Chain A
Amino acid sequence: MINDFIDVYKNRHDYAKDWKKKNPDSKVVGYMCSYFPEELFYAAGMLPVRILGSHEPQNVTEPYIFGMYCPFSRDVLAQGLQGHYDYLDAVSTAYPCMHLGQAFDSWTLHVTQKKFYVDMPNRVQTPYAVPFLTGRLEETKQEIEEWIGREITDSDLKEAINVYNENRALLREIYEMRKADDVPLTGTECMYITTASLFMDKKDANKLLKETIENELKGRKAKTADDTRLMVLGSENDDIKFLNMVEEFSAVIVTDDHCTGSRYFWNPVEEQDDPIQAIAQRYIDRPLCPQRDYPERKRLPYLLDMARDWNVAGIIALQQKFCDPHELDKVALLDWFKENDIPTIYLELDVTVPIGQFKIRVEALLERLREDELW
């Protein structure tokens, strides 16, 4: 049920520690970017958990990371330096971007933990990206096998793929439910659900998702057709406080494009003979982070389709301050939605947000959208 997801979101470390108690022979692996191929680790009986920031100011990272790196990367590094993730058996990442990569480099320099690093190609648009990533994943698999002292079989991999695909399908089902005029859950609630699933054993998450869909969401009206439908998109975002503020103004967030939201789970692994290649293909084909959307701009038409399919009236784009990949899309993105008549505001996230200032921007957007409705 939604409250259970909220509980996991708020007590993510307790969840992972409990999991470890229940699975004393298994390992917990933290990862930093949603391009991390979790299936490989899950197939080895491990719990992959995404490392997010705490949204609390801190004073521990300045000797290790430059102030021009995004607040998220600094917040993530702080979690490691402050020892909040000491229970991890390994820390890992697929190459994310320079900022989060810096957080990983610094974390592994100062916190003694086993590390895994996957060279995720940037240019997913080249046909050579899949063979490259497949090769790297094969090596990662071997590295995991050496670490745990046993083989990961094809059937382990297929089982992991199935569990992950089921999780993706269930989350997708919830997003489909949000297409309704009377939305069964708020965007804030949905963010709790998607973000909590980043921390959960997917088998547990799937069970809970099924229950939530069947026993809580079906027939529920969290918001009505009178609420203004919005989409949020941008960089890492688990800013509950912000989403909550937006939805207090008779508005409802009905979909998103964030790596902590839909980008994380949108596409399944399609079956192929070689499960490793199938996994590689999935990460190459997934909805794009701006970091990897070039030379062609494939992300913009994808976002427009989503906005239309979910019948969105307006968009709130949110990026981590100093995030270059998002900033390099900013002009094109604003032009694109202007051309396509979807009013959009663009805000910058920091570790904490000046809610009052953002309130004014959001209210102005909503007033504009409601004026449009009047005409």
Chain B
Amino acid sequence: MITAGIDLGATYSKVVILDDGKVVGKGISKTTLEPEESVEKALNAALQEAKIDKGQVERTGVTGSGRRAIKDADVVATDVTADARGAYHLDKEVKTVIDVGGEDARAVKVGENGKVINSAVNDKCAAGAGAFVEAMSRAMQLSLEEFAEASLKSTQEIPINAQCAIFAESEVVSLISDETPREDICRAVHDGIADRITSMAKRVLVEEKVGLMGGAVMNKGLVESIREGLGLDPIILPDPLFVSALGIALMAADQED
């Protein structure tokens, strides 16, 4: 059976095409003010990769914060459920998933057969995830890749506010004006964000194995800080941007007629 999984996120729309449980195509596009168009674009890219016509898709599942914009899906579920299902499919031993997106980070505790045991997301005072790192890299006039690389070369830890992004930002500004080595500032930003993410993750009672997913885990510097913050050795799930889309595609395939 051919199914499509759509993850309509705040920043990106992601689509996975499954043929009898195997990934045959993936597509991504920036989410715009016209979410249906964004999904269409990602879907077409995925179908093209899979060499499949739209008409051949038997079932569609949709997840992500914008999921309500998509009508006529066969299965609709929240990211939490889709994250768990996708992660479980990729690695049966994963018990905790940490999804680091642009604005939010989320932790999901995964139980038997990929079912959710519990979940947590960042609260108000500790908001911000990937987008904060991007903003800081812009403030330092570095590309995100350069920022991540620099952080890995840092030789000292500088404590910055782990809870409040506004405070953290003004501390970064102070560090820049104090001519603190660039590498150390980059690391301080990653450590600050990682502290917030791991603090939140601990609320679900983290158990190994821990799987990381979401766009921001492609930043090696941030992953290193998360690793230190957890005191555990998490794995990065394959295609970390598409885990939710994969999960919802699997749920669509599972659904009984």
Instruction: Indicate whether A and B interact.
Output: yes
Q: Are A356's CB and B123's CB within 8 A?
A: no
| A85 to B167 CA separation, bound complex (whole angstroms) | 29
Q: Are B170's CB and A354's CB within 8 A?
A: yes
| A354 to B205 CA separation, bound complex (whole angstroms) | 32
One of B160, B164, B192, B202 near A62 (C-beta < 8 A): B202
CB < 8 Å A-B pair total: 70
B3-11, B93-101, B144-152, B171-179: which lies at the A interface? B171-179
Considering the complex, which residues of chain A in the window 340-356 have a beta carbon less than 8 Å from any beta carbon of chain B? 350-356
One of A58, A67, A68, A355 near B195 (C-beta < 8 A): A58
Q: Which residues of A are found within 8 Å of B126, using beta-carbon distances? A: 62, 67
Q: Are B164's CB and A357's CB within 8 A?
A: no
Mark each residue of chain B from 98 to 127: 1 if its CB lies under 8 Å from any CB of chain A, else 0: 000000000000000000000000011110
Mark each residue of chain A from 48 to 73: 1 if its CB lies under 8 Å from any CB of chain B, else 0: 00000001111111110001100100
Q: Are A57's CB and B125's CB within 8 A?
A: no
Q: Are A59's CB and B167's CB within 8 A?
A: no
A56 and B202 contact, Cβ closer than 8 Å, known pairs A67-B123, A356-B173, A356-B177: no
| A62 to B195 CA separation, bound complex (whole angstroms) | 10
Asked whether B191 is an interface residue with its Cβ less than 8 Å from the other chain, the reply is yes
Asked whether B215 is an interface residue with its Cβ less than 8 Å from the other chain, the reply is no
Q: Which residues of A are found within 8 Å of B191, using beta-carbon distances? A: 57
Q: Which residue of B lies closest to A57 (CB)?
A: B162
Q: Are B170's CB and A356's CB within 8 A?
A: yes
Q: Are A67's CB and B161's CB within 8 A?
A: no
Taking the closest CB of chain B, its distance from the CB of A125, in whole angstroms, is 34
One of B161, B164, B195, B205 near A59 (C-beta < 8 A): B195
Taking the closest CB of chain B, its distance from the CB of A294, in whole angstroms, is 28
Q: Are A59's CB and B163's CB within 8 A?
A: no
Q: Which residues of B are found within 8 Å of A355, using beta-carbon distances? A: 171, 174
Listed A/B pairs (29) with beta-carbon separation below 8 Å: A55-B159, A56-B159, A57-B160, A57-B161, A57-B163, A57-B191, A57-B195, A59-B199, A59-B202, A60-B199, A61-B199, A62-B126, A62-B203, A63-B203, A67-B124, A67-B163, A71-B163, A350-B161, A350-B167, A352-B171, A354-B167, A354-B170, A354-B173, A356-B170, A356-B171, A356-B174, A356-B177, A357-B170, A357-B174
Contact surface of B with A, Cβ cutoff 8 Å: 123-126, 159-164, 167, 170-171, 173-174, 177-178, 191-192, 194-196, 198-200, 202-203, 205, 229
Contact surface of A with B, Cβ cutoff 8 Å: 55-63, 67-68, 71, 350-357, 359
